[in-house]
Amino acid sequence: MSSDAVLAEGDSCSPELPELPELPARALDKRELRGLVDDLAGRPEVWRKHVAFSADERHYASLYRDEYVDVWLLCWTPENDTGWHDHDVSSGAVHVVAGELEECNPRIGGEHVRVRVGEGTSFSFGPEHIHRLVGSATSSVSIHAYSPPLWRLGQYSISDDGVMRRVSVSYADELRPLDA
Ligand SMILES: [Fe+2]
């Protein structure tokens, strides 16, 4: 993630999001996270000013972070690929507000699962989820929410002979394929 988009530890909510819906003072489950990103998708005045694109690195903006949840805006080009990763102990939700993403899930010994997530659609997942996201349309934009807030992530490589390995990385590092 670009360092200028990451709020320092201990910062509370962004003053740009005073209208964030009332959130419970606890970790949110994946259904609640999906409701949050669906709600924010319908309020482009909150996130539109953060939209920007770079083929060299994924563009991120932190929209909100407190002790229970963090919310990000991500902007994608077809060159942007997270590589395989998990979200450690966090659940998450993604709403695509422009363009299209492709989500892949690793399948050991078979073809990986590939799902296209188009504009206006969302999905959510628990901490057991392993995936890879790619911007499959030019100028794609998505809103992501995680609870508890991201702190560490697991990043995976799959070797040519199919062996999968995990590396723990900071949420402040930009995710990229380890085997690229
Ligand atoms: Fe992810």
* pLDDT tens by residue, 83-118: 999 999 999 999 999 999 999 999 988 899 999 999
Quote the pLDDT of residue 5: 34
Quote the pLDDT of residue 173: 77
Distance 171 CA to ligand 1 centre (A): 11
The DSSP-derived string for 76-113 is E-TT-B--EEE-TT-EEEEEEEESEEEEEE--TTSPPE
Quote the pLDDT of residue 18: 55
Give the DSSP letter of residue 10: T
Q: How far apart are CA 20 and CA 1, in angstroms?
A: 23
Neighbours of 20 (CB within 10 A): 19
Distance 86 CA to ligand 1 centre (A): 6
From first to last of its 180 residues, what are the pLDDT tens digits of the chain? 433 333 333 334 454 555 677 889 999 999 999 999 999 999 999 999 999 988 777 788 999 999 999 999 999 988 889 999 999 999 999 999 999 999 999 998 889 999 999 999 999 999 999 999 999 999 999 999 999 999 999 999 988 888 999 999 998 877 777 765
Quote the pLDDT of residue 40: 95
Type of residue found at 112: H
Distance 165 CA to ligand 1 centre (A): 17
Distance 88 CA to ligand 1 centre (A): 10
Distance 16 CA to ligand 1 centre (A): 24
Contact by Cβ (8 Å): 51, 77: no
